[in-house]
C-alpha cells in the first residue's frame, strides 16, 4: 500500500506492507536508526517518536495509522546544526550513559514533565531528571 507522511519536516511517500510498524519503516526504509528498538511490546519507550506533537511508541503503531501524520525523530530535533534545548541539557548534565534510551527519553521530555513510560537500563534516572529540570528552568521558567 502507498502512504504519505511527513518525517522531520520532509514529505515522504512510501510503498509498504500494511503489517509493518512505524518503527520498522523509520529504521529500515528511512535509515533513522535513532529510533531504537528495545522491547517491541510497548513497555520500554526506546522507540518513542513524536506523532503530531505527541510522544508515541512506534513499535506498536502500524504504518498505515501514520498516514498523513507529522513524525519527528531524534534526527529531526536539532535545527540548523543547533541542538534542541532538551538535547543540550542532557549533554550538559550528563543525562546519558550508554545512550540507548536517550532519543526516546529526550523526545518524550520535550512534551512531558518527566517521561514516565521511558525506561533506562543503566538506571541513570537522577541525571536524566536533573537535565529535564534544567531545561525547564532555563527555557520555560514560568511553567
Contact between 115 and ligand FES per CB under 6 A: no
Q: Are 130 and 95 in contact (CB under 8 A)?
A: yes
Q: Which is nearer to ligand FES, 79 or 127 (CB)?
A: 127
Segment lying near ligand FES (by CB under 6 A), choices 4-12, 69-77, 121-129, 133-141: 121-129
Least separation in angstroms between residue 118's CB and ligand FES is: 9
Contact between 88 and ligand FES per CB under 6 A: no
Bridge partner list, 57:
48
Segment lying near ligand FES (by CB under 6 A), choices 12-20, 72-80, 82-90, 92-100: 92-100
Q: Are 97 and 86 in contact (CB under 8 A)?
A: no
Residues 14-73 that bind ligand FES (CB under 6 A): 37-40, 42-47, 57, 59
Contact between 99 and ligand FES per CB under 6 A: yes
Least separation in angstroms between residue 11's CB and ligand FES is: 25
Q: Are 27 and 35 in contact (CB under 8 A)?
A: yes
- Please name which of 135, 140, 128 lies closest in space to residue 85, comparing C-alpha atoms: 135
Least separation in angstroms between residue 31's CB and ligand FES is: 18
User: In the complex, which residues of this chain contact ligand FES (CB under 6 A)?
Assistant: 37-40, 42-47, 57, 59, 96-102, 120-122, 124
Amino acid at each position: 500500500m502507498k502512504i504519505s507522511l511527513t518525517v522531520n519536516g520532509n514529505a515522504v511517500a512510501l510503498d509498504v506492507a500494511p503489517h509493518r510498524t512505524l518503527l520498522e519503516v523509520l529504521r529500515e526504509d528511512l535509515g533513522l536508526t535513532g529510533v531504537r528498538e528495545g522491547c517491541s511490546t510497548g513497555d520500554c519507550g526506546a522507540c518513542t517518536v513524536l506523532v503530531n506533537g505527541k510522544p508515541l511508541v512506534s513499535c506498536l503503531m502500524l504504518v498505515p495509522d501514520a498516514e498523513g501524520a507529522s513524525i519527528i525523530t531524534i534526527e529531526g530535533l536539532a535545527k540548523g546544526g543547533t541542538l534542541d534545548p532538551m538535547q543540550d541539557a542532557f549533554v550538559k548534565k550528563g543525562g546519558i550513559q550508554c545512550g540507548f534510551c536517550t532519543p526516546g527519553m529526550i523526545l518524550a521530555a520535550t512534551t512531558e514533565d518527566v517521561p514516565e513510560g521511558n525506561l533506562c537500563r543503566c538506571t541513570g534516572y537522577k541525571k536524566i531528571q536533573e537535565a529535564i529540570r534544567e531545561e525547564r528552568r532555563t527555557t520555560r521558567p514560568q511553567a
